[in-house]
Amino acid sequence: MTIEEALTANLLANKPLNTLIDKRLYPQLLPQNGELPAVMYQRISTVAIEDRDSAQPDSQALSQARFQFDVVAADAKAMWAVAKVLRQALYGLIGTADPRIGAVFIDNQYDFYEDTSRFSRVSVDAILQYVEEP
């Protein structure tokens, strides 16, 4: 299972988050005329974390990936409510398997208002450290 598949499955299984977004979790783009609030995500970067053991055959590969999650809502109150629960759901990923997520760090968060769409948006950058099986 890829880290994106694991993120999707685990975040959609999070009841507090799903109460707010009703399975509206999308890779990269919000569908045209999509309902709100919703969360979009994309992988920004991935770095292999190497040590002397990682060069061994059949060793597990430790990776660190940065994901950007964009919470979009019709108003700021709904946007902040979803962002708060999203952060909690991301921290709840620690210890999940396939791939095994060992750490989650919220690295950055910023919000803005989109004049053209009239949506409130907050971007949450999360760094996930995880192990992929060989």
All structural domains of the chain with their residue ranges: 3-42+67-124
Separation between Cα atoms, residue 92 and residue 100, nearest integer Å: 12
Separation between Cα atoms, residue 52 and residue 22, nearest integer Å: 44
pLDDT digits (tens, 9 = 90+) for 58-99: 556 789 999 999 999 999 999 999 999 999 999 999 988 889
pLDDT digits (tens, 9 = 90+) for 15-30: 999 999 999 999 999 9
For residues 31-48, average pLDDT: 93
Average pLDDT along the chain = 89
pLDDT beyond 90 at 55: no
Kindly calculate the radius of gyration of the chain based on its CA atoms and give it in whole angstroms: 16
Q: Beta strand pairing status for 25-27 and 38-49?
A: parallel
Distance of CA 40 to the CA centre of its chain: 8
pTM: 0.88
41 residue type, one letter: Y
